[in-house]
Amino acid sequence: MKTFVIINPVSGKQEREKEEWEKPVRINFPDAAVFFTKHAGHATQLATQALQDGYEHILVAGGDGTINEVARVLVGKPAALGIIPKGSGNGLARELGIPLRYEEALVRYQHPQPFWCDVGVANGEYFFNVAGIGIEAEIARQFAEHGKSGTRGMWPYFKLGAQTLFSYQPKALSVTYDGQEQLLVPLTLVFANGTQYGSNFTIAPYAALNDGFLDMVEVKDVPKWKLALAAPSFFRKAPAAFGVTHMHRTTQAVVRAQGEIVYHLDGEPRVTRDELTISLLPQKLKLLKPQVF
């Protein structure tokens, strides 16, 4: 198979020279075309080039944002996407059981198994793992601003999250789905294609990438002590304890609120006003599942 490799050299915390990132690729894929991203959006340009040149496998080493940049180009296309986790949370990579060690992940892609997964759509933009409205989106917005001048990684993210938890004021949302309308004031409202945000923090334990549904998960605005007691259950791939969450499977929803709506797509913050439309495209992205030894 013709293999095209895109590497974001600044994703994650591990620092290497470009030659050190490229060498393991050459060992495993001697004939691969290898390119490094130079700026935001460059991964999308490279993936477009790969499609035009007829590459069948496109491997991407980066975080969830870089992966999203490439995946959006491949929706409905025959080329398959392989993920080399190199970010902070690596939600989609963990969902696929991809090793987090760079060299091991490359080895596993020697004989991968392709499969088609579902694709979420929010106001016309694709997401592949999780989209959300509420506190997590606000944290994502602050984290993006913090990353421009400070360090990234899970510790800064959790620190921002803890600070925001005590100051965030939930917003009233009107949510229409499956012919019914509900008024919710959630801490966060999640539309999950995969089970977790990343770092094994599971928000939708019953979700599957190719089941034809999004798992809509409301995290209720309960007292902080109850959230603290329920927190460990999010790492056990089980429904949150103490009734903190409510789940429903759907294929489309419309979320309305007065004024600004802050949301995120695979951790990348977005802002709209008054209305956010969520839908699902079943089995529209070909992913590569790595070989299991």
Between CA 4 and CA 210 the distance in angstroms is 25
Q: What is the pLDDT of residue 161?
A: 63
Nearest to 132 by CA among 44, 253, 226: 253
Q: What is the pLDDT of residue 56?
A: 95
CATH of 125-282, one of 3.40.50.1580, 3.40.470.10, 2.60.200.40, 3.30.420.340: 2.60.200.40
Query: By 3-state DSSP, what share of the chain in percent is helix, strand and coil, each rounded to 5?
Result: 30, 35, 35
Least confident of 33-37, 109-113, 269-273: 109-113
| DSSP letters for 88-135 | SSBHHHHHTT--SSHHHHHHHTTS-EEEEEEEEEETTEEESSEEEEEH
Provide, rounded to the nearest whole percent, the portion of the chain with pLDDT above 70. 94
- Residue 160 banded pLDDT, cuts 50, 70, 90: low
Residue 151 scores a pLDDT above 80 = no
Q: What is the pLDDT of residue 1?
A: 72
Q: What is the mean pLDDT of residues 162-180?
A: 89
Between CA 263 and CA 265 the distance in angstroms is 7
- H/E element holding 248? strand 245-250
Q: Which residue has the higher pLDDT, 90 or 12?
A: 90
Least confident of 79-93, 107-121, 122-136, 228-242: 228-242
Q: Which residue has the higher pLDDT, 142 or 32?
A: 32
Q: What is the pLDDT of residue 147?
A: 55
CATH of 3-110, one of 3.40.50.10330, 2.120.10.30, 3.20.20.70, 3.40.30.10: 3.40.50.10330
Q: What is the mean pLDDT of residues 163-179?
A: 90
Contacts of 238 (CB under 8 A, 6+ apart): 202, 205
pTM score, whole prediction: 0.90
Q: What is the pLDDT of residue 157?
A: 61
Q: Which two tokens stand for residue 239?
A: 């429904």
Region class of 227: left (phi > 0), else alpha (psi between -120 and 50), else beta: alpha
Provide, rounded to the nearest whole percent, the portion of the chain with pLDDT above 90. 70
Which one-letter amino acid corresponds to residue 245? T
Cβ atoms of 63 and 92 within 8 Å: the answer is no
Which one-letter amino acid corresponds to residue 10? V
Between CA 181 and CA 179 the distance in angstroms is 7
Backbone angles phi, psi at 141, to 5 degrees: -65, -45
Q: Which two tokens stand for residue 3?
A: 């293999």
Contacts of 205 (CB under 8 A, 6+ apart): 195, 237, 238, 239
Q: Which residue has the higher pLDDT, 146 or 242?
A: 242
CA distances from 31 to 28, 95, 115 (A): 9, 29, 24
Between CA 131 and CA 190 the distance in angstroms is 6
Residue 71 scores a pLDDT above 80 = yes
Between CA 227 and CA 197 the distance in angstroms is 17
Q: What is the pLDDT of residue 153?
A: 55
Give the torsion through C-alpha atoms of 8, 36, 45, 275, to 10 deg.
10
Domain ranges for the chain, please list them: 3-110, 125-282
Query: Average pLDDT over the chain, rounded to whole?
Result: 90
Between CA 96 and CA 234 the distance in angstroms is 18
